[in-house]
Amino acid sequence: QGPRTLRGGAGSLVDHPQLTQLSALLTAIDAGDRIVKGRVELFACSRKSLSQRAQQDLERRVPETITDSPLGPLSTDAARLLLSNLRSLLSLLFVHHDCSAIMPNDFERCHDVHTVVSTINHSLAAVVDRVHCGFLSEFWQTIQETIDVVNCEIFSLRPNSETFQPTDKSLASLYYFFIDPLGGRILFVGCVTKSMGAVRGGVDSDSDVVLSHIESPASSDGQCSGSDMSSVLLEGEFAFEDDKSDGGMAGPVD
């Protein structure tokens, strides 16, 4: 069964079976003293741009973004449309937060795809790979089949707005948006790390989720050790399956 769009107003989440399977493995990973939770979503962009009221609000609150912002000058149709779609996507991801006040300066353009991949591997994919052997390779292969990572524009969410704080007492978090303007899609990869104490203390709203436990390689016969997959990836490398490469591992992206 192929991907299908889940309608949700301005812009929609796409029901993608392979991404759904990946997300199921990212729900809650017990990494010993911390819990790692990830989410991967594909979003079909809308052609609906900012409303006149929203544009006026930008001009009033952050007038400098009209000529320059991480998303591009908000005087252009492309930048306004991008902001509108990012707000729509965030409102679907964080349903209990008001995302209408997200500003262009709450995002940061990521110029180096290698750094982004390395960060995601370190914070999320490699952690899961210790439990589910081969996940790292499957993760990036599915991502690349979904969206052209190399030719995407990539942004991270680093909110400055006091009105939007998606993390609650987290140790670390990351939110990346892979923008495919030609395909009209945005791939979201997010990760939140919380202390085990915070989760057990009821701070986390998802603390009732069944956790996947990571054991040391010495105490687990059937699990992937961290060296089986993640350590053979140099910083910034993709774990793509490639028939032309030895061992199925692709080298760094040019």
Quick: pLDDT tens for 156-189: 998 765 656 665 566 678 899 999 988 999 999 9
pLDDT at residue 23 tops 90: no
Q: What does each C-alpha distance from 102 to 39, 82, 198 come to in angstroms?
A: 20, 12, 27
In a domain, 166, yes or no: yes
In a domain, 253, yes or no: no
In a domain, 127, yes or no: yes
Instruction: Give the number of domains in the chain.
Output: 1
Could you give phi then psi for residue 85, rounded to 5 degrees?
A: -70, -35
Quick: pLDDT tens for 3-12: 544 444 468 9
Could you give phi then psi for residue 8, rounded to 5 degrees?
A: -150, 45
> From CA 208, how far away is CA 200, in angstroms rounded?
9
Higher per-residue pLDDT: 125 or 106: 106
CATH number of the domain encompassing residue 181: 3.40.1000.50
pLDDT at residue 113 tops 90: yes
In a domain, 135, yes or no: yes
Q: What does each C-alpha distance from 18 to 26, 42, 177 come to in angstroms?
A: 13, 11, 18
70 confidence band (pLDDT: 50, 70, 90): very high
In a domain, 254, yes or no: no
pLDDT at residue 85 tops 90: yes
What the block records as the tokens of 105 is 């300066």
Residues in a beta bridge with 30: 35, 213
Mean pLDDT of 69-94: 94
Q: What is the pTM of this model?
A: 0.77
Quick: pLDDT tens for 205-241: 443 333 333 333 333 344 454 433 333 444 445 554 3
In a domain, 81, yes or no: yes
Q: Which domain holds residue 192?
A: 4-248
For 123-159, the DSSP string reads: IIIHHHHTTSTTHHHHHHHHHHHHS-STTSEEEEE--
Higher per-residue pLDDT: 138 or 9: 138
